[in-house]
Amino acid sequence: MADRKLTEAQRAYEAKRAAKAGMSLEKWLTEKEKRAAAEAKAAAEATKPAAEPKKPGFLSRLLEKAQKPL
């Protein structure tokens, strides 16, 4: 949000919200940007598919075969 320009109405609205929270406008906007980034990251993590189990390595497969009866 810091890189895009706010209109006067948006700036006034955000200033009211910042005053209600007891912060300066700039601090409010940076906090808001951090929260949005954290929510986006959490949403991306939630949609990420679960990792598939790893295929057993060569030595593990060899030891498993050795444990089986003839």
pLDDT tens by residue, 33-51: 999 999 999 988 877 777 7
pTM above 0.85, yes or no: no
Q: Which residues of the chain have pLDDT under 70?
A: 1-4
At residue 69, the pLDDT reads 84
Going by C-alpha positions, the residue among 14, 34, 10 that lies closest to residue 24 is 14
CB under 8 Å to 6, separation ≥6 — which residues? Answer: 14
Are 4 and 14 contacting, i.e. CB atoms less than 8 angstroms apart? Answer: no
At residue 10, the pLDDT reads 94
